[in-house]
Amino acid sequence: MEKKPILLAVDDDLQVLGAIDRDLRSEFRRDYRVLRASSGAEALATLRELKAREEPLALILADQRMPEMEGVELLEKARSIYPDAKRVLLTAYADTEAAIRAINNARLDHYLMKPWDPPQELLYPTLHDLLAAWQAQYRPRFQGLRLIGFQWSPLSHELKDFLAGYMAAYQWLDFEANPEAQILLSTTSFTSADLPVVVFEDGTALSRPARADVAAHMGLAATASQDLYDVVVVGAGPSGLASAVYGASEGLKTLIIERQSPGGQAGTSSRIENYLGFPTGLSGAELAHRAWSQAIRLGAELLAPQEVVSMCVQDGYKVLTLANGSEVRTRAVVLTMGVSYRTLEVPGIDHLTGAGVYYGAARTEARSCDQQDVYIVGGGNSAGQAAMYLASYARRVFILIRGESLAASMSAYLIEQISQTPNIEILPFTQVREVRGQDHLEEVVLESKGQVEARPARALFVFIGAKPSTEWICNLALCDAKGFLLTGRDLVADPRYATSWKHSREPYLLETCVPGIFAAGDSRAGAMARVASAVGEGSMAIKFVHQYLDE
C-alpha cells in the first residue's frame, strides 16, 4: 500500500521541535506521517533518503534561525529535491521582514509566527489550506511494474505489447520525454545505454529482459508440474482457452501452453461488439483475461510464455518438446495455435517494425499517436476495431484498402461506426509502396490508381490477412497447401488425403490425421474466423477428447 505523505518539522531548539512535533501529530497523524530533524543538514539528508525511497513529502516546516543553515536556505534547497512540497518558514516577530522577502524571492508558500498558541487558530487553519492545495495536485506513486525505455525502441514496444497482452498493470516511462524516468533509472544500477529497463514493485530491475524473465517475476509458470496430462492445449486464443475451461471443468488433467500472450489475434482487438452476452462489447484482452482466470480457477495449469517446438508419438502418448528443452507427456492434444498477421513486404519495413510500424498493437501504441496522423493497412474486422480505437487519440486515421469498399471484408456494424466517425477516412484502391524514416517512421509512400504520393505519418498499423502458426506440426499432422490443419471428414472425403488416416474408425470431426491430436480455431482448415466460432470449436474438441480417451 502507498505510504502516508510526510510532514517534516525542522528546528535546532529541541524543546520547540518537540512542541511542533506534538501539535502536528495531534492534528494530522490520521492522514500524514510526521518526521523531525534538528538541523538543516540532517533535514537535507532525510529528504534525499525519502526521495531515494520514492516517498511523498507534503510539507516541510523549518525554523528561520538555525546555526550553519538558516531556514530560508534549507527551504530553497528542499525545493530542488521536492519541488511540489509546500514550504513553510517558522519565524519570530523580528524576522518577519526576511520571511516576506523569502516568500517573494525563494517562493516560499507561507510563514508562521512563534509562538503559535493556540494551534487551533494560529497553526492548523494555515496548514490545512496548504495541504489541501498539495493534495489537489498530488498523484500517488504508481504501485507496480514500471518500464523505462525509448518510444521508438522495438524492444520497448515488444515489452509493452507483452505486458498489455497479460493485462499487467504497468507504467510506461519514455526516457526522453519523462523526467520521472530519469530519476527512477538513477535508483538502479543501469544507465540509458541499458534501456529498456523493467523495474518491479519490489525494486528489482532488469535490463533488456527476455519475456520469460518478466513472466517469472509476474508469477507465470514456465515448467510443467505433472509427469502426464490427459490433454495439453497448445495456444491460448479463444479456442484454446475454451478447451482449457471445459477440459478442466470436466475433470481432465489439463495443461495449456502459450508462446506469447493469451487471446491470440482476437486478444489484440480493441473492441469486440458482436460476441454473444456482451451487449456493450469488450476488448479482446479483457475477454482473454476473463477466460484465462476462469481456466485457472477450474484447475487448468498454464505455461507462458512458452513455445512448443516439436511433437512426436511414443506408445500412444504424445510427447511435446518445449523451447527450453523440457518435455511434456499427454494422452491427447488440442492444437489451437491460431494465426499471425502477414508481414508487409515493402522497402524500409524491417528497419521500422516496432518503431512506428506495428502488427496489431493498436491498444498498446494508441496514446503515443495523440493528435497525429496514422495509417491502417487492411479491411477486416481487426482493422476496423483498431481504427475506431485509434480515432479517440489520433488527429486523423486513414484506412488503406486495395478494393473499392469495406463491404466484402468487414462487419456491417463496424462499417457504420466508421462512417459516423469524422476523423476516419477510407482510401480505396490504395497500397503502401514504401515506408521511410531514420530511427522511426516519418513517411508512408502510397500508390493509388497509378499515382504515387509520400505522406507524413506517426504510425502504420498492419492487418493484412493471416497465416497459420503450424510450421512446427505440419511434419506430423497433415496440413493443406496454405498450412492449415486438415481434420475430420476432410481426411477421408478428399482422395488426395485418404491414405493419411490409418485408423479403423473414421476420424472425429476435429481430429487430425494422428489419432488423439485435435485442431480447433483459426489454424484449422475451413474454420470461421470469428471469436464465437473459435470458442465453440475449442469447447467441442473436449467432447472428442473424452471419446478418444474412452476407446
Give the sheet arrangement for strand 86-91, strand by strand. 33-37, 6-10, 57-63, 86-91, 110-113
335 with 473, same domain?
yes
Backbone Cα Rg of the chain = 31
C-alpha torsion 322→326→327→333, nearest 10: -30
- Residue 127 resides in a domain: yes
129 with 195, same domain?
no
Nearest in space to 233 (alpha carbons), one of 248, 220, 244? 244
248 with 263, same domain?
yes
pLDDT of 360 strictly over 60: yes
544 with 426, same domain?
no
Question: Residue 178 sits in a domain of what CATH number?
Answer: 3.40.30.10
For 190-322, strand residue ranges (E) read 197-199, 205-207, 228-234, 254-257, 301-303, 308-314, 317-322
- What residues does 481 pair with on adjacent strands? none
* Contact status, residue 190 vs residue 175, Cβ threshold 8 Å: no
Least confident of 26-30, 136-140, 376-380: 136-140
Q: Which of 194, 217, 240 is the last residue before a domain boundary?
A: 217
270 with 253, same domain?
yes
330 with 417, same domain?
no
Work out the burial of residue 214: count CB atoms within 10 Å of its CB; fewer than 13 is exposed, 13-18 middle, 19 or more buried: buried
Say how far apart CA 365 and CA 400 lie, in whole Å.
19
149 with 110, same domain?
no
Provide the number of structural domains found in the chain.
Answer: 4
How far is C-alpha 546 from the chain's CA centre? 37
pLDDT of residue 104: 63
- Residue 1 resides in a domain: no
Question: Residue 364 sits in a domain of what CATH number?
Answer: 3.50.50.60
Please give the angle made by the CA atoms of 316, 319 and 321, to the nearest 5 degrees.
165
Question: Residue 67 sits in a domain of what CATH number?
Answer: 3.40.50.2300
Q: Which of 137, 165, 191 is the last residue before a domain boundary?
A: 137
356 with 454, same domain?
yes
- Residue 223 resides in a domain: no
- Residue 92 resides in a domain: yes
The pTM (predicted TM-score) of the whole model is 0.76
Least confident of 138-142, 334-338, 506-510: 138-142
- Residue 63 resides in a domain: yes
- Residue 172 resides in a domain: yes
Show the cell assigned to 301.
495449469
- Residue 460 resides in a domain: yes
Mean predicted lDDT score pLDDT of the chain: 90
- Split at pLDDT 50, 70, 90, the class of 471 is very high
210 with 155, same domain?
yes
243 with 379, same domain?
no
- Summarize pLDDT for 540-551 with one digit per residue, the tens: 999 999 999 998
C-alpha torsion 506→509→514→519, nearest 10: 180
Say how far apart CA 394 and CA 371 lie, in whole Å.
5
Least confident of 93-107, 216-230, 409-423, 428-442: 93-107
- Residue 199 resides in a domain: yes
Q: Which of 137, 163, 184 is the last residue before a domain boundary?
A: 137
Show the cell assigned to 8.
517534516
Containing domain of residue 154, as a range?
A: 145-217
What share of the chain has pLDDT > 70, as a percent?
Answer: 97
Least confident of 11-15, 113-117, 240-244: 113-117
131 with 151, same domain?
no
238 with 212, same domain?
no
